[in-house]
């Protein structure tokens, strides 16, 4: 299956969650067996030789592919959640988003200094949540931290915000960006 075929299966929802947003609904991929297999298999090929011992999925769509990828890689799976959802002792980080502040949390025993960690989420736009996840994971002082998303909206230049020791890779990205704000973006994705 080509990336172009995968993109053609991506559901776009205009004006969600607010007017001007062209929401990329990756759940349309999750319910299609071939699409789901293509994404997980492709990400596995990208990371199979990186020594990944833990995959962290960012709430909530990052849980789906993140858990499947952890299974394929023979790695543990860690949840990065919004406040109040984890039952055990946790560490947290507050961060600024484009429309306010948010907080993410992990169990305090999630990662060791011997781990090589891959953080996964569905989409990289402005980078706030994934960058916060990277900073939170780095507080555990693992051997290495890698970041991955399925879709990257390149017009926001979010990769530039990440430290060099936290490389970011995307499976699908948007070339020739014209929008300057996620809230006004109405341009289709390209491979």
pTM, rounded to two decimals: 0.89
> Which CATH number fits the domain that encloses residue 147?
3.40.50.2020
**49-81 residue pLDDT tens:** 999 999 999 999 999 999 999 999 999 999 999
Query: What's residue 191's pLDDT?
Result: 33
Q: Is the pLDDT of residue 131 over 80?
A: yes
Write out the residue range of the structural domain in which residue 92 sits: 49-173
Number of Cβ within 10 Å of residue 56's Cβ equals: 28
Q: Which residues pair with 107 in a beta bridge?
A: 90
- Does a structural domain hold residue 65? yes
Are 3 and 38 contacting, i.e. CB atoms less than 8 angstroms apart?
Answer: no
The catalytically annotated residue of 38, 61, 105, 174 is 61
In a domain, 37, yes or no: no
- Any domain includes 44: no
Residue 186 lies in a domain: no
Whether 98 is catalytic: yes
Report the mean per-residue pLDDT for the chain. 88
List the catalytic residue out of 34, 45, 94, 98: 98
Q: Which residues contact 164 (CB under 8 A, 6 or more apart)?
A: none
| Total number of domains in the chain | 1
Tens digits of residue pLDDT in 79-96: 999 999 999 999 999 998
Q: Is residue 101 part of a domain?
A: yes
Residue 85 lies in a domain: yes
**Residue 123 pLDDT > 80, yes or no?**
yes
pLDDT at 174 over 80: no
> Is 151 contained in some domain?
yes
Specify if 9 maps to a domain: no
What's the pLDDT band for 173 if we cut at 50, 70, 90?
confident
8-12, 34-38, 181-185 — most confident range: 34-38
The answer for residues whose C-beta is within 8 angstroms of residue 176's C-beta and 6 or more apart is 190
> What is the C-alpha separation between 53 and 87, in angstroms, rounded?
23
């Amino acid at each position: 299956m080509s990336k172009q075929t995968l993109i053609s299966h991506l559901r776009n929802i205009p004006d969600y969650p607010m007017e001007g947003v062209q929401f990329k609904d990756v759940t349309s991929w999750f319910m299609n067996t071939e699409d789901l297999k293509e994404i997980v298999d492709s990400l596995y090929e990208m990371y199979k030789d990186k020594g990944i011992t833990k995959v962290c999925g960012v709430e909530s769509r990052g849980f789906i592919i993140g858990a499947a990828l952890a299974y394929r890689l023979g790695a543990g799976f860690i949840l990065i959640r919004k406040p109040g959802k984890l039952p055990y002792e946790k560490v947290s980080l507050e961060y600024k988003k484009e429309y306010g502040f948010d907080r993410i949390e992990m169990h305090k025993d999630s990662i060791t200094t011997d781990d090589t960690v891959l953080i996964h989420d569905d989409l990289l736009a402005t980078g706030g949540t994934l960058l916060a996840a990277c900073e939170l994971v780095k507080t555990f002082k693992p051997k290495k931290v890698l970041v991955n998303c399925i879709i990257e909206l390149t017009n926001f230049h979010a990769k530039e915000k990440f430290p060099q020791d936290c490389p970011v890779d995307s499976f699908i990205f948007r070339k020739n960006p014209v929008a300057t704000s996620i809230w006004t973006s109405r341009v289709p994705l390209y491979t």
